[in-house]
Amino acid sequence: MRIRAIPQIYRNMNRWGEILSILSKYGLADWLSRFEFGLAKSLFKNRNGQVLAEENRETRIRLALEELGPTFIKLGQIMSTRPDVVGGDLATELEKLQANVPADDFDLVEEVIQEELGHSVDEVFEEFSRKPVASASIGQVHRARLKTGEEVAVKVQHHLIQDQVRVDLDILTGLAQLAERLPELRPYQPQTTVAEFQRVLRRELDFTRERRHLEQFALAFEESDQIKVPRAYPEFSATRVLVMEWLEGTPFSNLSSIDPLEIDLRAIAQHGAEIYLEMIFRHGLYHADPHPGNLLLMDDGTIGLLDFGMVARLDESLREDIEDLLLAIIEQDAHRLVSVVIRVGAVPTGLDETGLALDLSDFVAHYAYQSVEQFELAAALTEMFDIIRRYEIVLPSSMALLLKVLVMLEGTAQKLEPCFSLMEVLKPYQSKIVAQRLAPSRQFRKARRLAYEMQQLAEVVPRRLRDILQQVQSGRFDVHLDHRGLEPSVNRLVLGMLTSSLFIGSVLLVTNQVWPFRGVSIPGTLGGALSVALGLRLLRAISKSGHLDRRQ
């Protein structure tokens, strides 16, 4: 951790102490879980009295995040979309995170509305329910009626949540710097993960972004009779307050309690999946949190969408990469799948491409003989994530999010219809994807983008070559070499020279009886003993590195 972080630690000392005590408790519980100490295991419990050492590691991580509060719960929810970073088991466990945040008192809600809108609750709304219908980590939702008579949902940010998030993000940055130095945590890329999380959370704290998402969706799907997007009221919205249309319907999480004779759950699941695929592959703009609570079945049969805090957009190049990936899985093309993964992912140095190709070939072969009806895309994508993580390949966050959305989408649909297969819905899109790629308009856009890039290259390359030639001519051309792994060798060489010098000097002191005690030189003896100890340590270090006498 850098020295400039010390004032920040002092300023947030209480929160630092709280976080470190919780992490210590769960860390000790993790250590005790490896031993058969029944009495000791019962020492560590969470706030609900649950014995931590009896739970598996993934559950302990989830419980720790829940105890750490809203910011860390949000971190866990976002990391549940990155199985390529944290692994499939942990990502699945993090999906269970629930932000059971107590609702603010109505006085605080009134204060936030007054500060943001410049008017009191009574001046803006005809009716306003004092009791919220929901309370999450960032804000809570109240039902209300405008002066003009429209039923609305009012999303109000929790009082002082921005200050709490700022403190927690500062602390997370410090913890990420420490975690980056631990070999067992380095594969999780703590600093990169926290930086991405900060960007996402700061956007979510600004309700004007969610309002713009509502307006974008309303414009993109204004002609659709299959999807209902709440209307936003920008004149009554601000950074911490969002007023939108109230949608009346049955959440997908409650559809299973409806009489199957009254509603065709399979048709609803199919309909919802088709809407999402239309968002992704046609509009390139999709709702990124399709859990059952955010989907409503309206009385007229349309599907309503709630909570536009997480919305993702796909540019054309990323959409093509994702299409390549899904087509490779659909067509069981192992060679194409390996090529796409290596092309789009952040590949570590020294990647075992042969091993990756063999594992992905086995993966494709496993699903090659399954019928479309039996093919579970969620299981296939989860297994592919595990393979990618094993080879320390990190996918772009936007691609990982989309693939995770497909996993969530199939899981939501299967709660309505257990036999539902997203692949069955996705299969017809194969021909649509190919047709869209060959469309003249898309080819023209690609050609125009390529021509622009070639033009930029043609302008840059001569200038760069001229700069290099001028540096060579003036003698200012430098070549910087990165000596990887050379520092330990240099340190050992220096230590060896110091050890030999110390030994020779000590022998001279003993020979000349400098400061003798009973005929033996004290500094010479001490120096000789120290040089022997340093020599043994140097030999041990060389031996551990495996390069003592091995020939390359």
pLDDT tens for each residue of 213-258: 999 888 888 888 888 999 999 999 999 999 999 999 888 878 766 6
Per-residue pLDDT for 478 more than 70?
Answer: yes
| Structure confidence at residue 20 (pLDDT) | 78
End-to-end CA distance of the chain: 38
Place 333 in a pLDDT band, splitting at 50, 70 and 90: confident
Residues in contact with 152: Cβ distance below 8 Å, sequence separation at least 6, in sequence order: 125, 143, 144, 145, 146, 233, 236, 243, 244, 245, 246
Where does residue 193 fall: left (phi above 0), alpha (psi -120 to 50 degrees), or beta otherwise? alpha
How confident is residue 32, by pLDDT bands cut at 50, 70 and 90?
very low
Measure the CA–CA gap between 19 and 11, rounded to whole angstroms: 14
Segment 72-116, tens digit of pLDDT: 888 888 788 777 777 778 888 887 776 567 889 999 999 999 999
Coil, strand or helix at 104: coil
Confidence tier at 486 by pLDDT (50, 70, 90): low
For residue 38, the model assigns a pLDDT of: 47
Active site residue 289: yes
| Tokens matching residue 96 | 């269970």
User: Would you say residue 138 has pLDDT above 50?
Assistant: yes
| Local structure of 389: helix, strand or coil | helix
Quote the radius of gyration of the chain (alpha carbons, Å).
Answer: 31
Rounded Cα distance, 277 and 108, in Å: 41
Q: Which of 289, 307, 321, 359 is catalytic?
A: 289
The helix/strand/coil state of 242 is strand
In terms of CATH architecture, what is 106-162+203-311? Orthogonal Bundle (1.10)
Q: Which helix (H) or strand (E) holds 121?
A: helix 121-124
d(CA 210, CA 216): 10
Among 400, 313, 409, 415, residue whose Cα is nearest residue 80:
400
Residue 38 · residue 51 · CB < 8 Å: no
Q: Which residue from 94, 51, 46, 91 is spatially nearest to 74, judged by alpha carbons?
A: 94
Q: Is a pLDDT exceeding 80 seen at residue 280?
A: yes
Of 415, 403, 249, 269, nearest in space to 325 by CA: 403
Which pLDDT score is estimated for 43?
Answer: 54
Q: Which of 25-29, 334-338, 403-407 has the lowest mean pLDDT?
A: 25-29
Of residues 157 and 57, the one with the higher pLDDT is 157
Q: Residue 296 pLDDT > 70, yes or no?
A: yes
Q: Give the per-residue pLDDT at 143.
A: 95
Q: What is the rounded CA–CA span in Å between residue 332 and residue 39?
A: 52
CA distance 134 to 496: 68
Would you state the pLDDT for residue 27? 66
Phi first, then psi, for residue 139 (nearest 5°) are: -155, -175
Q: Report how far apart, in Å, the C-alpha atoms of 283 and of each of 139, 216, 217, 469, 514 are.
A: 29, 11, 10, 48, 87
**Residue indicated by tokens 């109000």:** 156
Q: What is the pTM of this model?
A: 0.69
Cα gap 413→423, rounded to integer Å? 12
Mean pLDDT, rounded, of the chain = 80
Residues written for the chain: 552
- Percent of the chain at pLDDT exceeding 70: 84
Spatial distance between the Cα atoms of 241 and 341, rounded to a whole number of angstroms = 41
Instruction: Using alpha carbons, list the distances in angstroms from residue 246 to 139, 142, 143.
Output: 17, 10, 8
Q: Is 315 exposed, middle or buried (0-12, 13-18, 19+ CB in 10 A)?
A: exposed
What is residue 231's DSSP assignment? P
